[in-house]
């Protein structure tokens, strides 16, 4: 079957699946008819060996099965998936399109790896038509994904998606009501470890929420092995915040860095700036300027927790610890807010530094290295 398409030069295209007959100036001159045959481009071949997944960037490379000087550009399509192998019809995510690529390679940078894999396919185009898609390939993009556990957050913390903000009016009037109900029929402060199975975990002021001066929220995903990385950015108005990890059973009155089950760095911008690493109620003042973004590298296999300047990848501090339980990301915020970046691979610069220095940052970490039981 053939179709006709009229071009801007009053020429006509005669198209079938394999050959395009382009009759140039057919209507302008019957004395000098001209017939140009342009083959449909063949399907490119993606070379998996030349593809690279590094630093949340995916570089895809392909080649043509035969040389084709008529190729004008390429179209790359990709789709996130949690299924290994070829794309599945039931995948809900649509193909994303990158058009007008002039070379046989392309890099997608700044990606959030919130799926285990990404499917890729590419097609070649000449001036007349687009060819068939290449065979799709699947590249692994596994990374650490988590969010804030709103059911654990302090009453004065407002959690939204990837941010947490101090809210001085949060839970006002409700906290006292819930506490009164908890304390009914007994004296003293209820044990932080007691829980109520009948209570919905979403009720503010519940026993699993931090309270008092523990302005804390935990991550909703625990880590028990492997290497993990995430970044935190403080809002400009943030007066005080901590970033680190904790065991899940942290008491709701406990503060980060003041127990032997929490490790963090603490920044205080109230009146004057202080910058310290904290663990087991001990603090070590840190030198240098507080970075705009802090990278957290947690290596459960080697027992290391390191903090980096996320921009320069310069080491700030490293804890050496034997984690006897799974840990979760932990945050403290007072007067201000934090933004969270997850779905990140361990940066190659961090991996290189950890390998070269064996996880030791010179003299920056010696005083607070600990063995947690």
112 in the same domain as 160: no
Strand order in the sheet with 35-39: 3-6, 12-15, 19-23, 35-39
The residue that leads in pLDDT, 222 or 35, is: 222
The reply to whether 103 and 165 lie within a common domain is no
Q: Does residue 220 surpass a pLDDT of 70?
A: yes
Tokens 């940066």, located at residue = 347
Range of the domain at 69: 45-141
Domain boundary among 97, 120, 141: 141
pLDDT for res 368: 53
Structural domain contains residue 191: no
Total tally of structural domains belonging to the chain? 2
User: Are 95 and 114 in the same domain?
Assistant: yes
Backbone dihedral angles phi then psi of residue 299, each to the nearest 5 degrees: -110, 95
| Res. 255: pLDDT tops 50 | yes
- 197 against 83, higher pLDDT: 83
Residue 34 lies in a domain: no
Confidence class for position 2, pLDDT limits 50, 70, 90 = very low
The reported pLDDT for the residue numbered 10 is 41
Look at residue 26 and tell me if it is in a domain.
Answer: no
* Pair (227, 104) in one structural domain: no
Cα gap 212→332, rounded to integer Å: 12
Would 17 be classed as within a structural domain? no
9 inside domain: no
Query: Using one digit for the tens of pLDDT, what is the confidence trace for 126-142?
Result: 998 999 999 999 999 98
> Is pLDDT above 70 for 265?
yes
Q: What is the pLDDT of residue 57?
A: 97
Cα dihedral sign, 255-257-261-263: positive
Same-domain pairing of 233 and 288? yes
Contacts of 31 (CB under 8 A, 6+ apart): none
Asked if residue 1 is part of any domain, the answer here is no
> Which of residues 103, 123, 141 is at a domain's end?
141
d(CA 31, CA 180): 100
3-state secondary structure 22-43: EECCCCCCCCCCCEEEEECCCC
User: Do residues 334 and 240 touch, judged by C-beta distance below 8 A?
Assistant: yes
CATH number at residue 308: 2.60.120.920
Quick one: 161 and 71 in the same domain?
no
> What pLDDT score does 84 carry?
84
Domain membership flag for residue 37: no
**Out of 83-87, 232-236, 263-267, 337-341, least confident range:** 83-87
Q: What is the CATH number of the domain that holds 51?
A: 2.60.40.10
pLDDT surpassing 60 at residue 151: yes
User: pLDDT digits over 196-217, tens only?
Assistant: 223 233 333 455 689 999 999 9
Question: Chain-wide mean pLDDT for the chain?
Answer: 81
Is position 194 within any domain? no
- 3-39 residue pLDDT tens: 344 444 444 444 444 433 334 333 333 444 555 677 8
Worst-scoring range by mean pLDDT, 179-183, 293-297, 305-309?
A: 179-183
Same domain, 158 and 122: no
Q: What is the mean pLDDT of residues 321-328?
A: 94
More confident residue, 227 or 83: 227
Identify the CA nearest to 77 among candidates 130, 124, 120, 110: 120
At 108, the pLDDT band (50, 70, 90 cuts) reads very high
């Amino acid at each position: 079957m053939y179709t006709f398409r009229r071009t801007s030069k009053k020429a006509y295209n005669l198209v079938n699946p394999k050959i395009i007959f382009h009759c140039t100036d057919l209507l302008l001159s019957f004395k000098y008819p001209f017939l140009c045959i342009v083959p449909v481009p063949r399907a490119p071949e993606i070379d998996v060996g030349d593809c690279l997944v590094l630093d949340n960037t995916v570089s895809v490379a392909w080649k043509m099965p035969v040389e084709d000087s008529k190729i004008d550009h390429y179209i790359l399509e990709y789709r996130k998936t949690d299924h290994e192998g070829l794309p599945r019809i039931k995948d809900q995510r649509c193909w994303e399109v990158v058009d007008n690529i002039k070379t046989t390679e392309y890099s997608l940078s700044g990606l959030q790896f919130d799926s285990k894999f990404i499917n890729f396919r590419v097609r070649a185009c000449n001036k007349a038509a687009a060819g068939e898609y290449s065979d799709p390939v699947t590249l692994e993009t596994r990374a650490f994904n988590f969010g804030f556990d709103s059911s654990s957050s302090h009453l004065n913390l407002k959690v939204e998606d990837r941010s947490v903000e101090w809210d001085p009016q949060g839970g006002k009037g409700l906290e006292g009501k819930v506490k009164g109900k908890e304390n009914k029929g007994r004296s003293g402060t209820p044990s932080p470890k007691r829980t109520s199975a009948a209570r919905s975990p979403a009720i503010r002021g519940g026993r699993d929420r931090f309270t008092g001066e523990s302005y804390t929220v935990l991550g909703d995903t625990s880590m028990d092995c492997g290497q993990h990385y995430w970044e935190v950015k403080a809002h400009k108005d943030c007066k005080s915040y901590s970033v680190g990890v904790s065991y899940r059973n942290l008491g709701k009155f406990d503060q980060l860095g003041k127990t032997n089950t929490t490790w963090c760095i603490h920044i205080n911008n109230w009146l004057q700036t202080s910058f310290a690493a904290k663990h087991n109620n001990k603090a070590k003042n840190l030198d240098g300027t507080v970075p705009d973004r802090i990278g957290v590298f947690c290596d459960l296999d080697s027992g290391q927790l390191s903090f980096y300047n996320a921009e320069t990848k310069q080491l700030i501090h490293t804890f050496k610890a034997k984690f006897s339980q799974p840990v979760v990301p932990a945050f403290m915020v007072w007067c201000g807010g934090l933004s969270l970046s997850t779905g990140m691979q361990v940066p190659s610069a961090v991996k290189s530094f950890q390998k070269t220095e064996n996880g030791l940052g010179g003299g920056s970490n010696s005083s607070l290295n600990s063995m947690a039981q």
